[in-house]
Structure 1
């Protein structure tokens, strides 16, 4: 048993330089492509519009509820009557909750789109990975 352990230890010590060279070469070759992708990301212009249901619901009136239900039908289950949603619009706790949420999510009020860099990266990933595989 002792002989086998020594044999494996010698084999491992003999191949350490090979593993080190392999890992270093993978790191150098893998990092070579990054500037090209970042330039591609900068060139793509992506418009990202965020529609916040909570803001629209808080700003809506009982008369505007049908239009809101038409825009977001999946958020208004059929088993609830319109009176439930009207009561929720007028509920003081819901109004207070919305004002606190607005304080937390002020990022959506800025004129510059904070998501443009993320959407550019996602667009590059989609075009380079998914579409190329689909077209093969």
Structure 2
């Protein structure tokens, strides 16, 4: 399981004309699932994301987590994180999990974040989404449960 985390001042997801998720300060998290992922991968990454200290404290050091600063999370499923473009010009998505399995782990990941007291907004799994954010810093990190 992979996540791309972006510290943001504002983020939102729109499907069609409807805003399905919107947050102020917090984390924009793109979530990719591979067919080898299990429950433990979702739990591990949720714990890591919730406690990741990438917000500045009063001394301007990255020392606070999204939990510490009372921020929110916008979580968006993103199968293209498992795109492989080593051969040719068109990426292969063979490493991405089948939608049914991916959705279960994506929803578990979000439930684990919520169980840690975080406010979590989402897009719509499998939908064509317009995602926007104001990256704060910018700060962008990639975490992989297999690394």
TM-score, structure 1 normalization: 0.26
Structure with higher Rg: it is: 1
Larger proportion of helix: 1
Higher relative contact order (CA 8 A, sep 6+): 2
Larger proportion of strand: 2
